[in-house]
Amino acid sequence: MIKPLSWTESGQSVLKLNIRHLWLLGVWPMDDSSSVFKLYTGFTFAVGVWSVAECLLAVYFSWGHIEETTLVLIFTSTCSCGIIKIVFFVRNPQSYSLMVREVAGLMALQNGASSKDPALAAILHDSHKHAFRITRGMLLFMFSQCFIWYPIPIAAHAGERRLPFSQHGWDNNSNFYELSYTLQCVSGLYMSQISFGLDCLFASIMILVAAQLKILRRRILKLHKEVISADGNDSFCRWAQMPADKCYDNMYERLCLCIDSHQNILRFVKHLQVTMSPIAMTQFASSVVIACMALFQSTYGEDISAALKCASYLPIPGGQVYLYCWAANSVTENGESVSTAAYSCPWVECSARFKHALRILIVRAQKPLVLTAGHLYPINRGAFLSLLNASYSYYALLGQINKRQMKDSAQGS
């Protein structure tokens, strides 16, 4: 049984911001989690389910009005995506705790080499800083949408009792207006932040894994120099004076350490793949729908306030997909570079066992480290472009449907 992370342990993790952000939203439990936190998680989930049910009812009453329907479906897709991600997380929270600990273990495995080399230490430091800034920036950008979506109904439709996302066509927003407005704001904030928070968590982990592969590549390239440095003399003249057996034994030992690090990284990537795959697939499907609807509203919407809201929201689904594709592509590229580094190291004069171990490393590193969504769809830059093309295709289809409806309405009148 894997113990949940403690508050202290989360504070020591490089993923501190990601973990505590999800804890604040009632998703990530700590080891001292009580029944109160479980109730909080249930409240978060219930708010999301209520929002989706309200949206589906609103779609039913607005069916046939393509502009109103697509606007509601944007919020419906966002909430549905958040709910599905919560289900995947709550179903196996131990896997996430284990993943955080394994990330710390990977970095600890190469900390010795990084602490002795300023270049490697810089790679590690930059990856930590990059992961933190990506998470902070994306979450703040998502939060900034609240200042656009929430006040616009009051400012642009004063006196009309409009709601931020889905309108109550069954009672014309006349019953429980203030409560409905508040619940839509709360559910929109929670579901969007949870969805984005999990995406940033996986993107941060992939950034750290790519950095570990980059450090490993540099360690392999510097095997020759490390042996000389370990003997106490940085001069390459020392190499010719060292006994051959000692030189090659030292290189072999250091190569074995590199191979051990590589195997640990590969095992972690398999765990990451299993945990991330269903959530990435959920986000890809949701982003295609949201981007299509938001682009349609921005282009064809007659309501200027709705078009403004959708235009400001449009970069978000693309940004979520790009996070996955860019970070996963970085892992793949740095994984392939390990094979090139192994072949480029000074192996010609080395011992037979060194060459044998190096050959095994090269062959294994040549197998691409490809992360997938739903165990079916490769996550890379090509996937990002194909998803954008899919969104545009659906947008063009909606545009044709809208033009046909307008034409039919004009002929009917």
Q: CA 326 to CA 368: how far, in whole Å?
A: 16
Q: How far apart are CA 277 and CA 274, in angstroms?
A: 6
Instruction: Give the pLDDT score at 374.
Output: 87
Nearest to 377 by CA among 269, 268, 267, 273: 273
CA–CA dist 60, 77 (Å, integer): 15
Are β-strands 372-373 and 377-378 bridged in parallel, bridged antiparallel, or unpaired? antiparallel
Segment 52-69 mean pLDDT: 88
The reported pLDDT for the residue numbered 234 is: 45
Q: What is the mean pLDDT of the chain?
A: 87
The pLDDT value recorded for residue 326 is 94
CB 337 within 8 A of CB 210: no
Q: pLDDT category, 197, cuts 50, 70, 90?
A: very high
Mean pLDDT of 204-223: 93
Whole-model pTM? 0.90
Give the chain as a 3 state SS string. CCCCCCHHHHHHCCCHHHHHHHHHCCCCCCCCCCHHHHHHHHHHHHHHHHHHHHHHHHHHHHCCCHHHHHHHHHHHHHHHHHHHHHHHHHHCHHHHHHHHHHHHHHHHHCHHHHHHCHHHHHHHHHHHHHHHHHHHHHHHHHHHCHHHHCCHHHHHCCCCCCCCCCCCCCCCCCCCHHHHHHHHHHHHHHHHHHHHHHHHHHHHHHHHHHHHHHHHHHHHHCHHHHHHHHCCCCCCHHHHHCCHHHHHHHHHHHHHHHHHHHHHHHHHHHHHHHHHHHHHHHHHHHHHHHHHHHHHHHHHCCCHHHHHHHHHHCHHHHHHHHHHHHHHHHHHHHHHHHHHHHHHCCCCCCCHHHHHHHHHHHHHHCCCCCCEECCCEECCHHHHHHHHHHHHHHHHHHHHHHHHHHHHHHHHC
Would you place residue 350 in the very low, low, confident or very high pLDDT band (cuts 50, 70, 90)?
confident
Span 364-370, mean pLDDT? 91
**What pLDDT does 308 receive?**
87
Domain borders along the chain are 7-412
pLDDT the model gives residue 269: 95
Mean pLDDT confidence for 103-107: 91
pLDDT higher than 60, residue 74:
yes
Q: Which of 87-91, 108-112, 295-299 has the highest mean pLDDT?
A: 87-91
The yes-or-no verdict on residue 171 having pLDDT over 60 is yes
Convert the pLDDT of each residue in 2-52 to its tens digit: 788 888 999 999 999 999 999 999 999 987 667 889 999 999 999 999 999
Q: For residue 240, what pLDDT is reported?
A: 43
Rg (CA), the chain: 26
pLDDT of 142 higher than 70: yes
pLDDT at position 412 is: 67
pLDDT tier at 109, thresholds 50, 70, 90: confident
